[in-house]
Amino acid sequence: MTAKIIDGVAIAKSIRAQCRLDVQALNRRTGISPGLAVILVGDNPASAIYVRNKIRACQEVGISSFKFEYPHDIDPQIVLQKIADLNEDPSVHGILVQLPLPRQFDMTAVLHAIDSTKDVDGFHLYNVGALITGNAVFPPCTPYGVMKMLEHEGIGLEGKNVVVVGASNIVGKPMALMLMQRDATVAICHAKTRDLAQFTL
């Protein structure tokens, strides 16, 4: 089989163009303008860039964005209260807490504080569990993006043998579950896998 490079940038541009049309249609039909709230704690340069790109993407497709920045030594209860407020805010349809968080935070508590219907990263326990049945409100973004690229390229998965390298809760495990939903046979490799090459041949 000849390897093929998938142009993720071109696919993303196409998806954003469709999202813009969808947002306009939603607004015409219901008067609703989608809103995304992003919480950024600390001064991690990579996180700042990531958040800036997300806000730029929102602007491109017509989604309102709200950024809430906090210093690295903020009391976690203040952030949890902000999440509670955003859960009740009808103008906010998605909430994203940029990771990683400073060490004083209980990451699990923060992610589970987000309403599962606004959990756009798909990290809430409800959405993680619902991946097993294929009923997640929001699937985790990175594996979902991989699935969209495979769909765009017309790459069928039914009956295929697929290897996922990495078993993280954010990418590897949900990726495997999404592939199984499409009837692929999945092997998950990780740091303790013996002879990785035998799986990736």
This prediction's pTM:
0.86
Beta carbons of 57 and 16 less than 8 angstroms apart? yes
Amino acid at 189: C
List CB contacts of 190: < 8 A, sequence separation 6 or more.
165, 166, 167, 172
State pLDDT tens for residues 5-62. 999 999 999 999 999 999 999 999 999 999 999 999 999 999 999 999 999 999 999 9
State pLDDT tens for residues 133-152. 888 889 999 999 999 999 99
State pLDDT tens for residues 74-86. 999 999 999 999 9
Active site residues: 54, 98, 121
